[in-house]
Structures are given as C-alpha cells and as structure tokens.
Structure 1
Amino acid sequence: MLKLENITKSFEGTTILNNLNLEVKDNAILSVVGPSGAGKTTLLRCIAGLEKADSGKFTLDGNPFDPADESSKERVVGVVFQDFNLFPHLSVLQNVALAPEMVLKQDKKTSEAAAKKLLDQLELTNHADQFPFELSGGQKQRVAIARALAMQPKILCYDEPTSALDPSLRDAVAELILGLKKTGITQIVVTHDPDFAKKIADQLLEVKPINK
C-alpha cells in the first residue's frame, strides 16, 4: 500500500497541496480528478519524485521512502507522460530497452528480450523497428507505457492519458489500463475526464483549488 501523510507543496508562495493524506491499495487504480490548477499533476509529480514535497511523509508497504531519491536502484514509480516523451531518433524497441540498460545495468540481450515481451503484451510487436514519427497517437502511448513498465515499477502513474488522443480511443485506453491490473501493478491516473476516471477507478480522489 502507498500512503501519503500531510503532503504539502507550494510554488512561489502559492500552496498547491496542503497537508494531503492519501492511501492507495496494492493493485488498485486511483483516478485523480479536478479542475485545472487544483494540483492533480503536482500530486502525481510528487509521487513520482519529479517534484520534492515541501513536507510530509511517503510510505510503501509500511516502509518510508523518498520518491525523489535517485540513488535507489529499485524503481518504485514509473510515469507515462502526457506528450509521451519518446526519443525520436530511437526505434520502438530501443526506446523500451534503453532505460533498463542505462539505469538497471542490464545487458543488451536481456533488456531487448524483456522489451520484446512487453511489446507483445501491448500488441506492438509489428512496430518494434519503427520510429515514433511513424506511429499513431495510440501506438505512441502504448510504447510509452511499455517503456515505463520496462523499469519494473511497483506503481505506474499517467498524466492525462486521453488528452493527446482522439476521443474514439478513450475506451481502448481504459481497456489497456484495466488490463494491466492483471499484472499486479498499482496505477494512478490523473485525468480531466470524470467519465473516464469513473470507468477505470477502484478509488477516486477529487482535488480542489485551495481557497485563499
């Protein structure tokens, strides 16, 4: 279980998160909804260690941990970014295999074998040798998910997973996220779409702007 206690985060004197408390059960899907400026993405970035909380405590399975600690060899949290952030000069296979080689120090044979398994799982095998510019938005998103999963995180975070896609792909994204539950991973989804949030969520967190 992931637990956040009294998490506070401010930017330039403006408080975005104020003593936030949250528990996310193992293998659950948490949807975080709320208007722009309410702190959805800030919360996700703090959980992922991309921003350091000003105060508060994170625990995972009862043990304290610092999401921003880059010295840990174990990747607790993975992120699928809104604009995917794929490397344009690398093939799909190389995009997925690179981080395990660089960060986890896997040899190329091991990392590529694991990457191919993930591509097969996400129905991307036929795109392994293509480059990002050759892919559709939905395919890019699946590559981004495969790349995050390659680091074997316990928790996978998504920042607005439907915003860059055609509305017709929303149900496919929901099915993909729900399907990943079978792998045992915990997922946290930030979204502006309340209907999508409810469709996938085991837990729903609505954040609101802090009154000044």
Structure 2
Amino acid sequence: MLALKAINKSYGKRLILKQLSLTVNDGEVLAIVGPSGAGKTTLLRCISGLEPIDSGEIDLNGQPFDPYRNQNQDSVIGVVFQDFQLFPNLNVLENITLAPILVLKQPAATAKAKARQLLSRLALADKERLYPYQLSGGQKQRVALARALAMRPQVLCYDEPTSALDPNLRQEVAKMILSLKADGMTQIVVTHDLAFAREIADAVKHVTAL
C-alpha cells in the first residue's frame, strides 16, 4: 500500500500541493484527475522521486518511504511519461535494457531476455531493432511501458497516458492498464479524462488548482 499524508509542495512562492492525502492499496488502480494547472504532474513527480516534497509523509507498506532519496534502489516506483522520454539514439531493445543493466546490475543476456518477454506481451516483438523515430505514438507508449516494467516496480505511474491518442489507442491503453491490474500491479494514473479514469480505476482522486 502507498499512502501520502498531508503533502505540501511549492515552487518558490507558488503553492502547488496543499495538505494532499491519498491511499492506493496493493493491486488497485488509482486515477488522479483534474484540470491543467491543478498539480497532477507535480504530484506524480513527487511520488516517483523526481521532486522532493516540502513536508508531509509518504508511506510504503506501512513504513516511511522517501522516493526522492531512494530513486535508484530497484525502482520501487516506475513512471510512464506523457512524452515517453525514450532515448532517440538507442533502439527499442536498448531503451528497455539500459537501466536494468546499469541500475539493477542484471547481466546483459538476462536483461535482453526479460525485455523480449515484455515486448512480446505488448505486441512489439518485431520492433526491438527500431529507433523511436520509426515508431508510432502508440508503439512509443508501449515501449515506455516495457521500459518501466523492466525495472520491476512495486507501483507504476502514468502521466496523461491518453493525451493526444485516437479512440482506438485510448482503448489499447485501458486494456494494458487493466491487464496489469489483473497481474496484481498497483497503478496510479494522472489524467484529465474523467471518463477514462472511471473506466480503468478502482478509485478516483480529484485535485483542483489552488
């Protein structure tokens, strides 16, 4: 279980998150919804350790957890970014295996075998030698998901996963999230799309601009 208690976060004098609390249970999907500027992405960056919180507490499985200080320890929190953030100079297989080899210290053969399993599951088995510029938006998203899953996270977060996707791809993303839920993956989805949130989530947390 991941629990945030009375989280505050500011940039300079601008308060972004004020006394925000939420809980997501193991194996659940929590959707965080709200308009642009409400702090959804900032919240996701704090949960994933890309930004430190100013005050409050984050607990993981009942124990205090600081994702900002623990971000290099076996990727407890994984993130699929809105802009994918794939390395343009690396092919698909290299994008997925880079962090497991460097951070998790997996042997290259092991990392590649696990990456190919993920690619097969995500219908990308024939794309491993392609580079990001050769992929469609939906394919890039699945590669970003495979890269996050390769780090064996306990919690997987998504930043606006349906942004700029056509209806077919939107349904594809929903199926991926629900498939991972069936496997027991705890997931947090940041989105402005309330209908999508209701489709995939066990609980919905609304945030509003301060």
Q: Is the 8 A contact 1:83 1:164 kept in 2?
A: no
C-alpha distance in 2 between matches for 1:148 and 1:72: 13
Q: Are 2:47 and 1:47 aligned?
A: yes
- Cα shift at 1:129: 1.2
User: Take 2:70 and 2:165, find their aligned partners in 1: how far apart are those partners?
Assistant: 31
Kept in 1, the 8 Å contact 2:72–2:103? The answer is: no
2:109 counterpart residue number: 109
- Give the conservation status (yes or no) of the 8 Å contact 1:137–1:164: no
Cα drift, residue 38 of structure 1: 0.9
Q: Give the letter aligned to residue 90 of structure 1.
A: L
**Residue correspondences, number:** 210
Q: Give the unaligned 5+ runs of structure 2.
A: none
Shift in CA distance, 141/41, structure 1 to aligned 2, threshold 3 Å: same
Distance 1:55 1:71 in 2: 18
Alignment of 1:6-21 (within 5 A): 6-21=6-21
2:146 alignment partner in structure 1:
146
3-state SS, counterpart of residue 152 of structure 1:
coil
Q: Cα offset for 1:72?
A: 5.0
CA RMSD of aligned residues (A): 1.1
Q: Secondary structure at the match of 2:5?
A: strand
Within 5 A, what are the aligned runs for 1:14-163? 14-70=14-70, 73-163=73-163
Residue 170 of structure 1 is matched in structure 2 by: 170
The TM-score, its normalising length taken from structure 2, stands at: 0.97
Name the CA distance, whole Å, in 2 between partners of 1:194 and 1:72: 33
Alignment deviations for residues 89-128 of structure 1 (CA, whole Å, 9 cap, x no partner): 1111111111100111111011101111111111110111
Alpha-carbon distance, 1:166 to partner? 2.5
CA distance in 2, matches of 1:61, 1:186: 12
1:168: Cα distance to partner?
A: 3.1
Change beyond 3 A, Cα 1:132–1:71: closer
Identical-residue share of aligned pairs (%): 58
Gaps of 5+ in 1: none
Provide the rounded CA distance (Å) in 1 between the counterparts of 2:134 and 2:112. Answer: 21
2:130 partner SS: coil
Tell me, in whole angstroms, the C-alpha distance in 2 between the residues paired with 1:11 and 1:71: 21
> Matched residues in 1 for 2:172 and 2:52: separation?
33
Scaled by the length of structure 1, the TM-score of the pair is 0.96
- Determine the C-alpha separation between the residues in 2 that align with 1:74 and 1:65: 14
Instruction: Tell me the distance in 2 between the aligned counterparts of 1:72 and 1:137.
Output: 28
Could you say what secondary structure the match of 1:117 adopts?
helix
SS of 1:141's partner is helix
Q: Provide, for residues 139-173 of structure 1, a one-character-per-residue CA deviation record: whole Å limited to 9, x for no partner.
A: 10000000000000000110000113223311111
Contact 1:78 1:155 in 2 (8 A): yes
